[in-house]
Amino acid sequence: MNIRVGIAALATVSAAVAVTTLAACTPARADDPGYELRVAAEMTVEVGATSALSVAIVPAAGRTISADGPVRVAVTVPVELGLPRRRYARKDAADPAADAPRFDIKVKAREPGDHAVALDVRFWLCGSRVCRPITVTRTVTVHVPAPIVIDAAVAVDAAVDAPPPIDAGRRRR
């Protein structure tokens, strides 16, 4: 009888330890990919001007971006925008040796309107033992406002025809 009680108690303790151990382990959540792609959803650039679109790949705690694996950012823009290049590799990052590589993509506005810039980012995300390939796509809206055209002749005529300000004081002769 004592042996049966001892075996039952041992089984109960073993089950409690197993449940406690499993509860302490936090499994990977489906909504936590292990990284964050930091990029603005939209930006504004004046016609003829160039602005930098910053794209940063930030790994979560306990994760790294593989220094040996390829990192690639492919950019697709409409003809109304200009780019110096369409593909960027880790060596093109602001700091290629950084744990979280950041790319500053120069976008030149050629024509007014709202334009979509498509980003296709590929890299290897590593945990403590295994690395896995990641592909992320984002779209950034680039607002290019139409330039304001002021007719110089109309502006000069309006200034000449305008009465003097109320607090202008007396006119000297």
Domains of the chain, first to last = 34-147 (2.60.40.10)
pLDDT digits (tens, 9 = 90+) for 66-121: 999 999 999 999 999 999 999 999 999 999 999 999 999 999 999 999 999 999 99
CA geometry: angle at 43 spanning 89 and 122, to 5°? 25
Phi, psi dihedrals of residue 22, rounded to the nearest 5°? -65, -35
Q: What is the pTM of this model?
A: 0.68
Is the CB of residue 53 less than 8 Å from the CB of residue 38?
no
CA angle centred on 139, ends 133 and 143, rounded to 5°: 155
Give per-residue pLDDT as tens, 35-78: 999 999 999 999 999 999 999 999 999 999 999 999 999 999 99
Say if CB 124 and CB 134 are below 8 A apart: yes
pLDDT band of residue 164 (cuts 50, 70, 90) is low
